[in-house]
Structure 1
Amino acid sequence: MPKTVTACVLLIGDEILSGRTRDSNLAYIANHLNKIGIQVREARVIPDVEETIVAVINEVRARYDYVFTTGGIGPTHDDITADAVAKAFGVPIGHHPEAVKILGDHYKATGGEFTAARMRMARLPEGATMIENPLSKAPGFQIGNVFVMAGVPMVMQVMLDSLTGRLEGGATMQSRTVTGQIGEGTIAEKLGELQAKHPDVGIGSYPYYRGRTFGTSIVMRATDSTELERVAAEVAALMREFGVEPQTGEPA
């Protein structure tokens, strides 16, 4: 039976906490990782505060197989993620020769000035390996089981895509959805009994409203497809007990 491989996602940035920037990275990361058998078990949004980043990195890297961070590796004074990660691992940080060359060649080719601020993006913690960035060239990096990526969604996505060969997946989480025009309060008790009967399958209840109609989608998640199908069938049968004809998938 495939092993379970877990991950935590850290979204770093005051702009997310303030509401100025709406995050889209978490959904992409979770979907991407699930496809290769890595289950995101936790996600946090934390500020650009060094001691917070250090403490949280050290906490979650000990708890999960992988940690993925986004944000805070740009050229400005408030881009402190790389420094904080280096501090968390207890190693110095400095200019990585290959990163300096990549960025230098990029700015030479594009006519931009390779300023001291931009040089900051070539700094990696000692012992880290680069994560390729085909778009803007400034690399992310991996140190231990921590992968540090950009906050800009397009850049983060190409960085994550380039990591597939480095990541070891395990059991892939699968899901099934059964929907019916029934209030979740009506089936809540029976649904709780069903969950107790099948502890290895996560069962979630999600009400919806479509104009004057309402109903509930029951989403089941598990790594065992046989058990998942069994529970989905039982949920459908439960709805029929209440006189509701279920449908597979999300509400129309």
Structure 2
Amino acid sequence: MVDKVTACIVIIGNEILSGRTQDSNLNFLATELNKLGIQVGEARVIPDIETVIIDTINYARNTYDYVFTTGGIGPTHDDITSACVAKALGYDFARNPEAVAMLESHYKPEDLNEARLRMADTPVGAILIENPISKAPGFQIENVFVLAGVPRIAQALFDNLKNRLTGGITVLSKTVSTDLGEGIIADPLASLQEKFPHIDMGSYPYFKDGRLGVSMVLRHHDETSLQECEQALKEMVETLGGNIIFSL
């Protein structure tokens, strides 16, 4: 097993950038990918603009092991993701007979109009990803996986593609929350980071139930190293006179 396998998630859609639609696909994909030992190194939210999509896809596929896109594969004029992926990778773009058959199994002949048939257009040679909900498939072309933007469908598509993925080491995490402020823990936490340089450390302040606190998150692939760092972190909090609100 390789030590590190990486991915980039590209969320495509003007409706996400405008705030009209709240994205939930990033949380789902990042969580599920980490379970498979695939670390999300970057996520981008971009508009339905051809040049932006093409440039982003080409950057991501040449930088990360896997790329996952969500959004822009529906039947309307602004659903341009599939065509842009074909252009980015240099493939012809055409109607996929297998995808047409999937749509025909779902729609009555009189309802399968040209707009809906556009959902069967893919890069030539793409491997389809079955969609058990609305039948309009996603697809894989090289290391790029193209998914729908609707969360329920994106999740179903991911369930049907994850057996194609090869992961590396799964990253584990531990969280320690304290009632100390970030200004108090900043320097001691920096010293602790120097002592455990291999551990990814982050501090995240919060305000809950009328009180301030900080959650400190430790991430690494080795459970023993995480436990040692967690213990040192708890001792640091106690030395500073703070309380540990929770540890998980």
Structure 1 letter corresponding to 2:114 = A
Q: 2:206 aligns with which of 190, 205, 208?
A: 208
How far apart, in 2, do the equivalents of 1:217 and 1:247 lie?
9
Residue 213 of structure 1 and its aligned partner are, at CA, apart by 2.2
Residue 61 of structure 1 and its aligned partner are, at CA, apart by 0.4
How far apart, in 1, do the equivalents of 2:68 and 2:237 lie?
40
Q: Cα deviations across residues 155-179 of structure 1 (Å, max 9, x unaligned)?
A: 0000011112100011101100111
| Root mean square deviation of aligned Cα | 1.3
The equivalent residue for 1:23 is: 23
Structure 2 letter corresponding to 1:10 = V
Does the 8 Å CA contact 2:179/2:245 hold for their aligned counterparts?
no
How far apart, in 2, do the equivalents of 1:126 and 1:2 lie?
31
Structure 1 letter corresponding to 2:41 = R
The equivalent residue for 2:86 is: 86
Q: 1:221 aligns with which of 219, 222, 244?
A: 219
Residue 200 of structure 1 and its aligned partner are, at CA, apart by 1.7
Q: Quick check: 7-16 or 203-212, which moved more?
A: 203-212
Structure 1 residue runs of 5 or longer lacking an equivalent are none
How far apart, in 2, do the equivalents of 1:155 and 1:210 lie?
34
- Structure 2 length-normalised TM: 0.97
Does the 8 Å CA contact 2:178/2:242 hold for their aligned counterparts?
yes
Q: Cα deviations across residues 128-150 of structure 1 (Å, max 9, x unaligned)?
A: 10011000000000001000000
Residue 85 of structure 1 and its aligned partner are, at CA, apart by 0.2
The equivalent residue for 2:5 is: 5
Residue 118 of structure 1 and its aligned partner are, at CA, apart by 0.5
Residue 210 of structure 1 and its aligned partner are, at CA, apart by 2.4
Q: Quick check: 165-174 or 190-199, which moved more?
A: 190-199
Does the 8 Å CA contact 2:10/2:44 hold for their aligned counterparts?
yes
Identity %: 53
- Structure 1 length-normalised TM: 0.95
Q: Cα deviations across residues 64-90 of structure 1 (Å, max 9, x unaligned)?
A: 000000000000100000000000011
Alignment of 1:143-162 (within 5 A): 143-162=141-160
The equivalent residue for 1:173 is: 171
How far apart, in 2, do the equivalents of 1:33 and 1:95 lie?
30
How far apart, in 1, do the equivalents of 2:67 and 2:194 lie?
31
SS of 1:23's equivalent?
Answer: coil
Structure 1 letter corresponding to 2:117 = M
1:72 aligns with 2:62: no
Does the 8 Å CA contact 2:67/2:143 hold for their aligned counterparts?
yes
Q: Cα deviations across residues 159-210 of structure 1 (Å, max 9, x unaligned)?
A: 0111121000111011001111111110100101111222221111111222
Residue 247 of structure 1 and its aligned partner are, at CA, apart by 4.3
How far apart, in 2, do the equivalents of 1:97 and 1:79 lie?
20
1:133 aligns with 2:134: no
Q: Quick check: 167-176 or 206-215, which moved more?
A: 206-215
Residue 2 of structure 1 and its aligned partner are, at CA, apart by 4.4
SS of 1:107's equivalent?
Answer: coil
Structure 1 letter corresponding to 2:107 = Y
Does the 8 Å CA contact 2:175/2:247 hold for their aligned counterparts?
yes
